[in-house]
Structure 1
Amino acid sequence: MIQIQNVSKVYKTKERIVTGVDNVSLDINTGEIFGIVGYSGAGKSSLIRCLNLLEKPTSGTILVDGLNLMKLRGNNLRQARLKIGMIFQHFYLISQKTVYENIAFALRAAKTPANKINARVTDLLEMVGLSDKRDVYPAQLSGGQKQRVGIARALANNPSVLLCDEATSALDPNTTLSILRLLKKINKELQITIVLITHEMNVVKEICDRMAIMQDGKVIEEGQVYDIFSDPQEELTKEFISSVVSFDVPSMILSKCTGKLVKVMFKGDVAGDGIISDTVQQFTIQGNFLHGSIEYIQERPLGTFLMELKGEDDEIEKAIAYMSSRAAQVEVIDNGN
C-alpha cells in the first residue's frame, strides 16, 4: 500500500544543515493502522508530511498503491493527494465558515459536482456524529468536535489513506479515547489505511496494528504493537512503554525484600493461566507479590508481575525454569540485596 524507500529530508538554513528524516524505509500494509512514535524532533512529523509531498523528500521514493509520488507534477500530483486525507493537531478549520461549509470546502476544491455536495456532507456528518452541528461555527465547538469536523473534511474525497499528525495531542484523555474509537471505526468500515504519528504510547496501544519508533530521524525499531510491548529491544522503546505499563515499586518495599526479585511476563492466552500458583505449589518456595497488571493490546492479554521468591537457591532456579517452560518470560531483578 505505502512503500517508503530510503527517504531522507534535509533542511538547509544559513547557519546549518539539519537532517529531519534519515534514510527511512517502511512498508505500510493496506487497511492497517500504523503508528509512528517519537519525541519532538525525532522526525516523525517530517516523515508523515513527506507521504503526501507536503514536504518533498530530499532523496528516496514514496509509493502509494504502486504510484510513485516523486514522479508526479501539477494536476497529477493534486489528483494523487485527493486520495491521501490528513488531520492535524490544531484542526485548521475556517472560523468564518459553518461546520457544513468547512467540509463542503474540501469537496468544492476537488471540483465535486454541486448537486452531490449536500448528500456527501450529510453522510460525513452522520459518520462522525455531528449531524446536529451542521450549521454552527468552529468557535461553538469543543476540541473533540473540532477534530471530528477535521476528520470529516479529510474523508470528503474518499481517500484510501488517512494521515494523522498528532491528531489527539490537544485533547483530554476521554476525548482522545472517543476520537481513537472513531478512527478505528472508520478504518474497519471504510478499509482506509491510517498512518498515525504520536508521542503517546497509549494512543498506539489503543488502536494501532504495527508501529515504528523514531529517534534522530531514523527508525530504530518496528513491528507488531503487541510484540514490541511484550519484548522491546531498544532503550528508547522501553522508556516509551514504561509510560503505559508502569513497573515502579516503592523503594521502601524493595528494601525489605530478602529473597530473589523476579519480573514475570505472560504473553497471549497464558496470561490468564495459574502458572504462578502452580509454581508455588510444586516447589519449596515462598512467593510474595509486589506488583502486577494485565494489559490488553490488540485484544490480546499481556500480564506482568513482580514478585519475591524465597527458598533454597536450587528450588528457586527450578521454579524459574518451570515458569519459563510454561511460556513465561522471567527476568531476575537486582534489588541491591
Structure 2
Amino acid sequence: MTPDPALLCIGEALIDVVLREGREPVEHVGGSLLNVAAGTAALGVDTLLASWWGRDARGDRLAQAARAAGVRVVAGSDGAERTPVAQARVDAGGHARYTFDLSWDVPALPAASGIGHVHTGSLAATVEPGGRRVAAEVARLRAGATVSYDPNARPAIMGSPIAVRARIEDLIALSDVVKASDEDIAWLYPGADPAAVLAAWARRGPALVVMTRGADGALARLAHDDTALQVAAPAVEVADTVGAGDSFMAGLLAGLWDLGLLGGPEARARLRHARWEDVAVPLRQAALTSALTVRRAGAHAPRPAEVRELDAAARPAAREEPASDAGSAPERLQP
C-alpha cells in the first residue's frame, strides 16, 4: 500500500540564544521551520523536515528535538559545517529582535509522490545558496502538493526589502496559503495599507492570505471574496513572542489539513472555493495555538488537549466575524 502523503517543511532549524536584561543567556531549540514542523506534528499531521544543521552538540539537540516532537527528518539535514544560531534579544514587553550566525542549503528531498503539502518561508527562502533551491523545489513539488509560505521577515539577515521582495512575491504566487505578520508587511512595503497588501497578494495566486497582528488577532482574506475576517486573539499573559507566528502557522495548516483543504491538487481546488465557514475553525485553532505559545518562554508546540482547554476557557469572550466599518456590513477592501 502507498503511504498517505506527508506535510513537508523546508527551512531552518537552529538554536535560539535568548537574551534578557539582567539574566543569563538561555538556549532553546528553534528555527521557524522546525517550530512549524513540531507544531503540525503535535496536532497529528505526519510531518517531514528538510533542514540544514551541523554534526555537533547543538545539531544533535535539534535532531533529538525533532524526533521527540514526532517530526521525521529528511536524510542529509545534518550537512552543514556548524549548527546555526540566532540570538533573540527580548525586551520588557516580551518582543524579540534577532541576530544570526548561520549558513543555509537544502538536502536532497524525498520523492514528490510522498508529499501532499509543502511549507516554507523565513530565512530559507532568501538566504543563498539554499534560497534559490527552495524556490525551485517548491515550483517542482507544487504539481502534486499544496503550498504555504510565511515570509517571516528578518531584516538582520535579509538586508533591505528591495533585496528580497521579488523572491518573496514569486513564492507568494506559487502558494495556496500565505501568512505574514503586520510587522513583516510594514517592513516589506513601508507606508502601504496592510489590507491593500493582502488584497494584492491574493490576486497573485494564494486562495487564503492571513496577517497576524499580535494581541489584536489576525485579519484573513479569501481570494474570491471581497470581505476580510477578523480572528480574535485569546487574552493571555505573555511570557515572550518567540515562535508565536510559527505556532499560528502550524495551527492553521493542521486545521486546513484535517478538513481536506490542503494535501494535493484536489485539496487545492476545494480551498479555492472555500467559504468563511469552511476556514473559520482552522483560523480559530491558529489563534489558540499562538496564544498557548506566547504564554511560555521560547517556542512551544501545543497539543490538541491544550487547544481544546484554552478554546473552552476563551470562547465566551472571543468571536470571529467579517470585518466591518460600522459593525453591520462586511468591509470591502480596496486593492
Structure with the larger strand share: 1
TM over 0.5: no
Structure having the higher Rg: 1
